Amino acid sequence: MKSLSQFNIVPKSYEGQKAFWGVIFVLPWLLGFVFFFFIPLLTSLRFSLSTIQASSEGMQITFIGFKNYIEALTVNTNFNRTLVESIINMVVNIPLIVIFSLFLAVLLNQKFFGRTFARGIFFLPVILASGVILNLESTSLVQAINEQNATSGGVMSGFGAFELERIMLMSGVNETIVAYLTGAVDRIYQIVSQSGVQILIFLAGIQTIAPQLYEAAKIEGATGYEAFWKITFPLVSPLILVNMIYTIIDSFSRSPITELIMTTGFNNSNFGLSSAMAWLYFLAIMIILLVSTYLVSRKVFYQE
């Protein structure tokens, strides 16, 4: 069987080969998008600009322009509040999740007894946050645990956060940084439960770094701290961009605003308004993605 190179399909230059194989790897997603998502995407855009009424003759779609968008932004107060809260939570959680994932990946890459078990423990929240187990968070067991923590352990964690805040303020740390770090303590469950995939990506990237680099740095007298900032961090910086984008998209599906959109569409049968909400949320996420990608990609180091 002849390969692609025998048919002179693969470009001979190195840059051409990278571009060619990049297209090959993206092709399955591209075909899936064209055949399964493109038409529903256009349909939702049409719905967002129309009113939809069901009758004996079928669905009647009437074009009304941007009235659904105006209603979502001005009349429906729940959408504005939920959208702002979702964006704020996303902006706050993304740096925490990425930093926490990188820190744990560096630790889990060290050689110690029970390393495989420890890696499984930190990936376990990804399994627990999927399927049927995810629904338990709104039902009996997990709800009872959360209520117990709120009445007993919540008091202790509140004292702990207050003591941490007091110590940092006495040390001269800026109040904004103190508020951010104490907020991270309150969000620890959310951060851990959303960091499993990012830890695996960072861990895979760290394991591709040549050990000879660390050996040479150790011979030159570099400490572990210096080796991290001079070797590990620059070489995994492309994965920081990847994990940041993944975390933004992952938070897109976890946001409570998706529940509001589904409730508006399927429970209230207002598909035009729900489509407009979905497109507004999509545009907000796209703006966040573009800005964050532009800022982070300028600091990314690519090893040629």
User: Does residue 218 share a domain with residue 98?
Assistant: yes
Of the two residues 157 and 66, the one the predictor is more confident about is 66
- Write the pLDDT tens digit of every residue in 288-301: 889 888 888 887 77
pLDDT of residue 154: 46
User: Does residue 168 share a domain with residue 213?
Assistant: no
User: Does residue 213 share a domain with residue 103?
Assistant: yes
Q: Which stretch of 104-118, 213-227, 280-294 has the lowest confidence by average pLDDT?
A: 104-118
Cβ atoms within 10 Å of 278's Cβ, excluding its own? 21
Mean pLDDT, all residues of the chain = 78
- Write the pLDDT tens digit of every residue in 163-192: 666 666 666 666 666 666 666 666 677 777
Cβ atoms within 10 Å of 203's Cβ, excluding its own? 22
User: Does residue 218 share a domain with residue 107?
Assistant: yes
Counted domains in the chain: 2
User: Does residue 142 share a domain with residue 71?
Assistant: no
pLDDT of residue 183: 64
pLDDT of residue 174: 67
Kindly report the CATH number assigned to the domain that includes residue 289: 1.10.3720.10
Say yes or no to pLDDT of 24 above 80: yes
**CA angle (155, 158, 163) in 5-degree steps:** 130
33 part of a folded domain: no
What is the identity of the amino acid at 177? I
User: Does residue 151 share a domain with residue 100?
Assistant: no
Cβ atoms within 10 Å of 83's Cβ, excluding its own? 19
Q: Which stretch of 94-108, 186-200, 209-223, 249-263 has the lowest confidence by average pLDDT?
A: 186-200
| Residue that terminates a domain, selected from 158, 174, 193 | 193
Total residues found in the chain within this entry:
304
Which domain does 246 fall in, by range?
A: 66-111+194-304
- Write the pLDDT tens digit of every residue in 98-137: 888 888 888 888 887 777 777 777 777 666 665 545 555 4
pLDDT of residue 31: 92
Instruction: Characterise 52 by phi-psi region: left (phi > 0), alpha (psi -120 to 50), beta (else).
Output: beta
**CA angle (19, 22, 28) in 5-degree steps:** 140
